[in-house]
Amino acid sequence: MEITEKDREFMREAIRLADESVQHGGGPFGAVIVKDGEIIAGNSNSVTLDNDPTAHAEVNTIRRACHKLGTFDLSGCTIYTSCEPCPMCLGAIYWARISKIFYGNNRKDARDIDFADDFIYEELDRPIEKRTVPLIPLLRDEALRSFRMWSAKTDKIEY
End-to-end, the C-alpha distance of the chain in Å comes to: 30
Q: How far apart are CA 31 and CA 79, in angstroms?
A: 7
Q: How far apart are CA 82 and CA 19, in angstroms?
A: 10
Specify whether 58 is catalytic.
yes
| Tally of CA atoms within 13 A in the half-sphere of 147 that contains its CB | 5
Choosing from 58, 122, 123, 142, the catalytic residue is 58
Q: Residue 144, SS3?
A: helix
Q: How far apart are CA 134 and CA 153, in angstroms?
A: 33
Q: How far apart are CA 39 and CA 33, in angstroms?
A: 6
Q: How far apart are CA 96 and CA 115, in angstroms?
A: 24
**6 phi, psi to nearest 5 deg:** -65, -40
Residues catalogued as catalytic: 58
